[in-house]
Amino acid sequence: MSHTFSVAPMMDWTDRHCRFFHRILTTKALLYTEMVTTGALIHGPRARLLQFDPAEHPVALQLGGSEPGDLVQCARMAEDAGFDEVNLNIGCPSERVQKGAFGACLMREPDLVGDCVAAMRAAVKIPVTVKCRIGVDDQEPREALFGFVDRVARAGCETVIVHARKAWLKGLSPKDNREVPPLDYPLVYELKRARPGLRVVINGGITTLAQAREHLAHVDGVMMGRAAYQLPWVLADVDREIFGEAQRGLTRAQALEAFKPYVARELAKGVPLNAMTKNVLGLFNGLPGARAYRRHLSENAVKRGAGLGVIDEALALVREEGARAAA
């Protein structure tokens, strides 16, 4: 399984419908679930939270938690469900996550995280990876990052995904924490140089494949977040530009048509249309008709009984405006 290019776990975004659509665009990228807390898996709707389509492989489950026993139990669930990797979230700065004593606040507790990783590694055969920040609050980034990574590496973690920003646990919202703290890519590069045996994946502020290729000259992998969701067509070039595969020749309209059989199956199970079309709203961004397409989906996919016809109508709007622009 390659970590060369992956799509970041994003709450309320990278659900199973999103991942299925992303897999239509790229066969090579590693996909991640939204973060799932250990409490939700142990006490909540386990089957729903672990659900994914076989077409999503390779796909990793991201866990949020800080109790080794709970994480072991959930890692075993992930392995039994067929996930290709389990990832521990040590990067989320939200207050809700802090109150649960996991996420970015655990950057201050590398020994505890090491114990969690060691326990999971002993319990499952699939890889156990960690996603972290370069530090939190007033920590000195190099000292915090290197010390944290060395501890989890001693526990058996072979792959670390580093969001190249600090997290400020007080005073900044989760959204601001994704944008305000400055990026420090050179520090992540330095980590890879200093720890050549460790697989280092960089995350944060990466919006184009050209940027991804630049990072790959210094680290082992790149994780793209919001750009992959908001502008999903960027993923259509991943297999060629990042992995050297032949051009597939897929068009945006063809990708949407390829998504429709999945949508039909899910509609038959009672899944509302807008739960799936929210993931394709940005597909035609930058092209004539994109605004009409987004508006039609947004206004009509939420209606009771909405079906595939809504997608066909939105696609027709794109084609009509495209034809007018080309005339």
| Residue spans per domain, the chain | 5-241, 252-326
Decide whether 5-241 matches 252-326 in CATH topology: no
Alpha-carbon separation of residue 37 from 40, 129, 152 (angstroms): 5, 16, 20
Predicted local confidence at residue 223, as pLDDT:
98
- Respond yes or no: is residue 157 known to be catalytic: no
Tens of pLDDT, residue by residue, the chain (327 residues): 799 999 999 999 999 999 999 999 999 999 999 999 999 999 999 999 999 999 999 999 999 999 999 999 999 999 999 999 999 999 877 665 555 566 788 999 999 999 999 999 999 999 999 999 999 988 999 999 999 999 999 999 999 999 999 988 876 667 766 667 899 999 999 999 999 999 999 999 999 999 999 999 999 999 999 999 999 999 999 999 999 999 888 999 999 999 999 999 999 999 999 999 999 999 999 999 999 999 999 999 999 999 999 999 999 999 998 788 776
- What number of helices (H) and strands (E) belong to the chain? 16, 8
d(CA 232, CA 90): 26
**In the chain, which residue ranges form alpha helices assigned H by DSSP?**
16-25, 38-43, 46-49, 68-81, 95-99, 110-123, 141-154, 174-177, 185-194, 209-215, 226-230, 238-241, 252-268, 274-277, 290-300, 308-326
Which two three-digit tokens encode residue 297?
């989906």
Predicted local confidence at residue 299, as pLDDT:
97
Is 65 within 8 Å of 2 (Cβ atoms)?
no
Tokens 């050549």 found at: 196
Predicted local confidence at residue 92, as pLDDT:
78
CATH architecture of residue range(s) 252-326? Up-down Bundle (1.20)
In three-state secondary structure terms, 164 is coil
Predicted local confidence at residue 181, as pLDDT:
82
d(CA 200, CA 212): 14
Chain centroid, CA 106 distance in Å: 20
In three-state secondary structure terms, 131 is strand
Predicted local confidence at residue 93, as pLDDT:
72
Given the residues 92, 116, 132, 157, select the one marked as catalytic: 92
Which two three-digit tokens encode residue 122?
């002993």
Alpha-carbon separation of residue 85 from 30, 31, 128, 301 (angstroms): 10, 10, 6, 33
d(CA 113, CA 129): 11
Predicted local confidence at residue 97, as pLDDT:
53
Predicted local confidence at residue 101, as pLDDT:
63
Predicted local confidence at residue 180, as pLDDT:
74
Q: Which of the four CATH numbers 3.30.465.10, 3.40.980.10, 3.90.1150.10, 3.20.20.70 does domain 5-241 have?
A: 3.20.20.70
Q: What single-letter amino acid sits at 119?
A: A
Predicted local confidence at residue 172, as pLDDT:
64
